[in-house]
């Protein structure tokens, strides 16, 4: 397999397109699963539901509560999809990465943490109690999932001996990291759902708080938040492929196609988990994160460190 | 970009932070001033590393220590703020004057 | 040339947002202005080739400022700034001291004969930092680690209102612990 290299400048433009395609596919798949769970027939309208929702939100009138903090709300809303795209810049598609930074893993982590600030600002800025409750819930969730997530990333970096994502892919030439780092992979998938506030971790936008952060957002703002959530999930799925599933390696097909297929498979698994699990209350997940996930991921890092040193 | 330019940025950040730390009454705002001052240390440390002795890692270590210092300062600051708020609904420095008596 | 433009834009942005922290009425805006100041100040670090430390500062400051926003809302009287009020003392004196500091130190920056540059940056800057922390500067790493651990313990001790007698009863034999929130691992 040819090593991953830095792509030309124009490849940066491909990242939002690829990521958007993945995210749209994931959203459509989620609608299909929902329809089947409800016993409805899967028709073209169900498949195209994300697109029609996009069109509806684009023409919808924006409304705002009195004395809302427009500056912070708008900044937060825009930052969610922007953070997802920036995080995906370091993901290699096949053997081309749009931006193969020497500290790619740290960059991915930093951009994905931008969501903390973005969601809190989007919730606070609407001057709605539901939005603020949603923002607070996401911060609690962040404090619970972030450390296991970081330890999973550290485990991968230790195994590859580098923070550069292309080195991580190259280090999996013989054996994929998922085989000898299963706990880190599981923790990464859990945190992928948590960082895109999806599935069991959707309390930030929960129905019990009338949509939480989403409660007072309408029109384009709401579209950016909903799209950003899917983009984040897609970016995390694509990153999981590069970090644990050998990147673009595979027989017969070209490497970029393998990357897309694997990313779609991971995204499908995440969407399936999302529709099959019940919402987890944050006061419960905090303790699970700190008492179960952190020790497990630490042990995983220890095992990998010992193997690397041996 | 020169060493002087970076140091001027650091000095400006330090002065802004100093103004905030001296003039604000609320404990949390004072901490924001302190954070700005530590930020100045980060900029200056990085500049000295690059423009004076890039072959040695000492400048980088200074930046790392400053970053850690910020985390420690914030954690302890908030812990103390919560503790004295619990003891008497105090959130401004002028009200915490019983320490003087 | 492009680097110089980026540097001066970031420097101006860092100082302007730093000033904004103490000028805006809304505490949420003040916190995120401080975050913007940190991000602006971290970008010159990236220009110098300190990619790891620059990204680390951004990562840490986002998390820190979000936590700070929560404390701001919790502890300040007027978090949204809807009714502007002055929360300063000795404004004139502070301003004089700050301006004086800037003038004196700034003059020093321009007048001092700084040493010439010796050597070139290593190939992998991040690797050099890691090697220094685990080798010649091991003591720094140890002190940082111990300091952070001591901070965690003392911050929890200071801020937590309930001790073990509240949780386990006077004879410390009450099981399960009497916690207001029961948690998620089956207690």
Q: What is the CATH number of the domain that holds B50?
A: 1.10.287.3510
Residue B59 tokens, joined: 């400048």
Residue B9 tokens, joined: 């940025």
**Cβ-proximal residues to A70 (8 Å cutoff; 6+ apart), any chain:** A64, A125
Q: Is residue B44 part of a domain?
A: yes
Q: Which domain holds residue B84?
A: 3-94
The interface pTM score, or ipTM, of the predicted complex is: 0.88
Q: pTM for the complete prediction?
A: 0.90
In 3-state terms chain A splits into helix, strand, coil percentages (rounded to 5) of 75, 0, 25
Domains of chain A, residue spans = 5-309
Contact C140, C133 (CB under 8 A): yes
Asked if chain C contacts chain B via 3 or more Cβ pairs within 8 Å, the reply is: yes
- H-helix or E-strand spanning residue B69: helix B58-88
Q: Of A89, A90, A92, nearest to A3 (Cα)?
A: A92
Q: How far apart are alpha carbons A188 and A150 in whole angstroms? A: 9
Determine contact: C58 vs chain A, CB below 8 A. Answer: yes
Rounded to the nearest angstrom, the gap between the alpha carbon of residue B73 and the centroid of all alpha carbons in its chain is 8
Residue A149 tokens, joined: 């997530």
Q: How far apart are alpha carbons A102 and A96 in whole angstroms? A: 15
Number of helices (H), then strands (E), belonging to chain C: the values are 7, 0
Q: A117–C35: do the CB atoms touch at under 8 Å?
A: yes
What's the number of domains chain B is made of? 1
Judged by DSSP in three states, A174 sits in: coil
Asked if chain C contacts chain A via 3 or more Cβ pairs within 8 Å, the reply is: yes
Rounded to the nearest angstrom, the gap between the alpha carbon of residue A262 and the centroid of all alpha carbons in its chain is 15
Residue of C nearest to B52 (CA): C117
Q: pLDDT tens track of chain C, all 187 residues? A: 788 899 999 999 999 999 998 888 888 888 999 999 999 999 999 988 888 999 999 999 999 999 988 888 887 767 776 666 667 777 888 888 989 999 999 898 888 888 888 888 888 888 888 889 888 889 999 999 999 999 999 998 888 878 788 888 888 887 777 777 777 676 5
Q: A292–C55: do the CB atoms touch at under 8 Å?
A: no
Q: How far apart are alpha carbons A85 and B36 in whole angstroms? A: 30
Please state the φ and ψ torsions of residue A250, each to the nearest 5 degrees: 170, 160
CA distance C70 to chain A (A): 8
Q: Is residue B99 part of a domain?
A: no
Q: Tens digit of pLDDT for each residue in A249-269?
A: 778 788 888 888 999 999 999
- CA dist C34 → A25, A93, A117, B33, C12 (Å): 38, 36, 13, 9, 14
Residue A243 tokens, joined: 């970090």
Task: Indicate the angle between helix axes C27-47 and B3-23, nearest 10 degrees.
Answer: 160
If one compares A22 and A95, the residue with the highest pLDDT of the two is A22
Query: Which residue is listed with tokens 């986002």?
Result: C62
């Amino acid at each position: 397999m040819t090593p991953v290299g830095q792509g030309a400048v124009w490849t940066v433009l491909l990242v939002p397109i690829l990521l958007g395609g993945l995210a749209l596919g994931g959203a459509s798949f989620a609608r299909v699963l929902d329809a089947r769970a409800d016993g409805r027939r899967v028709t073209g309208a169900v498949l195209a539901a994300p697109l029609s929702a996009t069109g509806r939100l684009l023409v919808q009138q924006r409304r705002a509560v009195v004395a809302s903090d427009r500056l912070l709300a708008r900044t937060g809303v825009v930052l969610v999809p922007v953070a997802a795209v920036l995080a995906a810049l370091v993901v290699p598609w096949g053997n081309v990465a749009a931006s193969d930074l020497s500290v790619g893993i740290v960059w991915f982590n930093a951009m994905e943490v931008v969501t903390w600030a973005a969601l809190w600002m989007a919730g606070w800025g609407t001057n709605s109690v539901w939005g603020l409750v949603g923002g607070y819930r996401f911060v609690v969730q962040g404090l619970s999932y972030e450390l296991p997530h970081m330890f999973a990333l550290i485990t991968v970096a230790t195994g590859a001996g580098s923070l550069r994502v292309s080195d991580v892919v190259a280090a999996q030439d013989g054996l994929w990291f998922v085989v000898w780092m299963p706990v880190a992979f599981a923790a990464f998938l859990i945190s992928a759902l948590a960082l895109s506030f999806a599935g069991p971790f959707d309390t930030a936008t929960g129905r019990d708080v009338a949509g939480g952060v989403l409660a007072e957002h309408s029109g384009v703002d709401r579209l950016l938040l909903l799209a950003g959530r899917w983009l984040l999930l897609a970016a995390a799925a694509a990153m999981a492929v590069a970090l644990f599933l050998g990147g673009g390696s595979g027989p017969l097909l070209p490497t970029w196609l393998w990357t897309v297929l694997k990313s779609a498979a991971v995204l499908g698994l995440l969407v399936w988990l999302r529709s099959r699990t019940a919402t987890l209350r944050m006061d419960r997940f905090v303790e699970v994160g700190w008492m179960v996930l952190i020790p497990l991921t630490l042990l995983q890092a220890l095992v990998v460190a010992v193997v690397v040193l041996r | 970009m020169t060493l002087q330019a970076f140091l001027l940025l650091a000095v400006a950040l330090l002065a802004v932070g100093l103004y905030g730390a001296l003039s604000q009454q609320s404990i949390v705002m004072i901490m924001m001033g302190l954070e700005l001052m530590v930020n100045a240390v980060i900029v200056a440390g990085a500049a000295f590393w690059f423009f004076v002795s890039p072959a040695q890692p000492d400048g980088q270590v200074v930046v790392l220590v400053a970053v850690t210092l910020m985390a420690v300062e914030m954690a302890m600051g908030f812990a103390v703020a919560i503790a004295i708020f619990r003891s008497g609904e105090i959130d401004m420095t002028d009200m915490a004057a019983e320490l003087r008596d | 040339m492009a680097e110089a433009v980026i540097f001066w834009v970031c420097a101006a942005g860092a100082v302007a947002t730093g000033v904004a922290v103490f000028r805006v009425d809304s505490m949420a805006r003040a916190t995120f202005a401080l975050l913007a100041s940190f991000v602006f100040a971290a970008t010159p670090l990236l220009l110098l080739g300190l990619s790891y430390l620059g990204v680390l500062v951004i990562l840490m400051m986002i998390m820190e400022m979000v936590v700070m926003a929560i404390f701001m809302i919790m502890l300040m009287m007027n978090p949204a700034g809807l009714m502007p009020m002055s929360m300063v003392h000795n404004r004139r004196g502070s301003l004089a001291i700050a301006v004086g500091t800037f003038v004196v130190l700034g003059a020093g920056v321009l007048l001092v004969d700084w040493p010439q540059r010796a050597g070139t940056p290593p190939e992998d800057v991040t690797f050099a930092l890691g090697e220094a922390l685990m080798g010649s500067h091991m003591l720094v790493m140890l002190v940082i680690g111990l300091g952070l651990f001591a901070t965690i313990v003392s911050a929890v001790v200071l801020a937590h209102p309930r001790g073990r007698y509240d949780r386990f009863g006077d004879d410390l034999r009450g099981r399960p612990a009497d916690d207001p929130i029961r948690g998620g691992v089956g207690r």
